[in-house]
Amino acid sequence: MQDARREKIGEVTLDYTHYPGRDLYCDGAVEQELLAIAQNVPPERYNHVIREKKSWEVLYHFSDLRENIVSWLPFEKGMKVLEVGSGCGAITGSLARLAGSVTCVDLSGMRSRINAYRHRDCANVTIHVGNFQDIEPDLPADYDYVFLIGVFEYGQSYIGTGTPFQDFYRIVKRHVKPGGRVVIAIENKMGLKYWAGCREDHLGTFFSGLEDYPDGGAARTFTRGGLERILKDCGEEAYHFYYPYPDYKFTTMIYSDRYLPKVGDLTNNLRNFDRDRMLLFDEKRVFDMLIREKLFPLYSNSFLVVTGSEPETIYSRFSNDRARRFQIRTDIGQRGDGTRYVRKYPASAEAAGHIRTISQNGSLLSRRYGGHALCVNRLEEKRDENGLPYVELEYLNDAVTLEELLDDCLQKEDAPRFDALLKRYFAILADQSGDRTVTVQDQDLIFSNLCIQGDVWTVIDYEWTDAKIDAMQVARRAFYCYVLENPRRKESPILQEALKRLKMDDAAFAKCAKKEQAFQRMVMREEDGQLRIAVTDMRHRIGHLALPFQEAFAHIRGKRIEIFEDYGEGYSPQHSYWIHNAYVAENLFRAVLPFEETVRRIRLDPAEQPCLLQIRRIRIGDCELNRQQIANAVFTNGTTLQGSGTDCVFFDTSDPNIEVRLDALQKEKDRAPGVLTVEAYLLRLTDEMQQGLRALMTGRKHSWFRK
């Protein structure tokens, strides 16, 4: 007899023993869409669906970049893994490929079904549906890993005690075998992106985490110190902090205390896709300052905490936002004796051939240069326990990149040294002292890929080579990338002179940009001809704003109206004020202006640029002025568009104003306090619109409706 508490979807088992019979949380109709994708779309097509749907939810749940947060960890095939809060299975597939068995726990029946359908071929996955507290007593205590990815912050929702996070951790820890690890991925509530204008991930409000959640909420994130206190309260002494960048959701790099970012490394900071954000400052420059001041660990956007023994890997970089055949992962590891190594792994089965190509490129470049002008970082091809190839390269200690040296020259205004470095660079490109039958060039010989130790120059990255590209093309690409990464470099007279000698004018940069776009399309093109969508492009497709604060202020400033009152002595700043909320529609404002009985005239300055304006109505109290009253009492410094049939006024000035003469409407003896209401349509003009209207006007000023 079939057990009603269990369901099989493909090879995946769902256990409903502790399921309450209904989902206690749901994201609505979008979950049906996610289920349909999991049921009908093969994983290799997820990226194309992400492109088509242009949806934050589809991107978040189905992007393979989500797996980066766990795929670098050391696994053995027989390991047992517990994933708490598995959701729609963003990392479940990676765990199933790496470990022997995966036990998932999630409160949502719908999300668990989505997880099961997308991983239906994984016979080593079991999903328990229900509340973790109810399921936990039935779980064994021999897991090699317990994963809390985006889950620990909800501890107070799982655990109803006075110390929910400590108790949550203690409960989880009970299920880790001796020598096992707990892995926690969580936002840093002091993360730089929140200072810079990102909304808090869980509440969607500005600065909530920075203000320590004054309005409450289901989730709580922590500073590094806050997480450490929780771990120590639980008696956990063996823990290690890693720093996913830009955050743990769409990780492209993972740093550690043994390998922190260098100045200039953190350039890709617009990576929130779920809602609009502000841009209060340049995050790259602030990250650079924090790195110089050795403060980066406190302001990393996310934390990844690994308990237990420390993994050998101290840094990972993921290049899996490409076509599958080019997806790789680069690790820097540190052995027990302190020696380091670099390894490049295929991030997908299809990329194994690309790893072999990198090995071949190294051999070709070694022959081409012969170890004279340029050394090629030593490489050894190896295979992992599953037979997949990877390459191991030498880690160059105490090396600096050519990029770092050039930046130092620009900062110190050292033109002779800058020119000497470039002279050596061009000599390398032209060198043929090795095997002259090898004409291949390293297409990626950009300044950051050249490491310098004393007089020895070594290329550390030769992923892309081309026999058809010439030395000048390589050089121009290097300069193009150098300026693209930090446009402020171009302001240096030293670099300007170098670009001039290289004939790198605006047209040359445009040509380089076109070639770079073609190269990137090649890297992103799948074997079926479809272009993979890069996650960085999804911001534009989803459509959320990233609004610089200057533009926000300009928008507010452009929408505000300044009011002047004349008490018989003319207009003055002492008798003026601003209205900031007058616009009731995009181009329609309603100014409600109380006035005292001694006010003779009121002037409205509705914009600070040329515009077209049409009065809709003017009222004093409940009495609406007729056309004749307006003609007698309302004046502007604009020009009426005679014959337009719209009574529009063209303001060919950056200081348009509308004056309402109350003394022409109220006799002295009848004056009393009142309220003036002005409603008008206003259209701000572009330079082209302004020039076109100016050509039609005589420049003579008119009062309203005056013929």
For the chain, first and last CA: distance in Å? Answer: 94
In the block, residue with structure tokens 């007729």: 626
Q: pLDDT value at position 4?
A: 67
pLDDT of residue 468: 83
pLDDT of residue 556: 67
Which residue matches tokens 């004393």?
Answer: 454
Question: CB-side exposure of 536: number of CA atoms within 13 Å?
Answer: 11
Angle made by CA atoms 190, 192, 198, in degrees to the nearest 5? 95
pLDDT at residue 584, as a whole number: 86
pLDDT computed for residue 272 by the predictor: 83
Both tokens of residue 47? 């990226």
3-state SS string over 9-34? ECCEEEECCCCCCCCCCCCCCHHHHH
Task: List the strands of the sheet with 601-605, edge to edge.
Answer: 576-579, 561-566, 601-605, 658-661, 634-636
State the Cα torsion 41-44-47-52 to the nearest 10°: -40
Give the single-character DSSP code of 533. Answer: P
Residue range 384-434, pLDDT digits in tens: 877 788 999 999 999 999 999 999 999 999 999 999 999 999 999 988 788
Beta bridge partners of 7: 14
Alpha-carbon span 187 to 153, nearest angstrom:
8
pLDDT one-digit tens code per residue, 316-339: 999 999 999 999 999 999 999 999
Let me know the angle formed at the C-alpha of 101 by 100 and 102, rounded to the nearest 5 degrees: 135
Question: Which stretches of the chain score pLDDT less than 70?
Answer: 1-4, 551, 554-557, 642-646, 697-707
Plot region of 348 (φ>0 → left; ψ -120 to 50 → alpha; else → beta): beta
Strands 80-84 and 546-548: unpaired
3-state secondary structure (DSSP) of residue 68: helix
Q: Which residue has the tokens 């979807």?
A: 9
Which of 326, 359, 328, 361 shows the shortest CA–CA distance to 345? 328
Closest CA to 158 of 236, 223, 85: 85
CA-based R_g, the chain, Å: 32
3-state secondary structure 310-337: CCCEEEEEEECCCCHHHCEEEEEEECCC
- How many angstroms separate the CA atoms of 242 and 72, rounded? 12
At residue 439, the pLDDT reads 86
**DSSP H or E stretch at residue 49:** helix 46-53
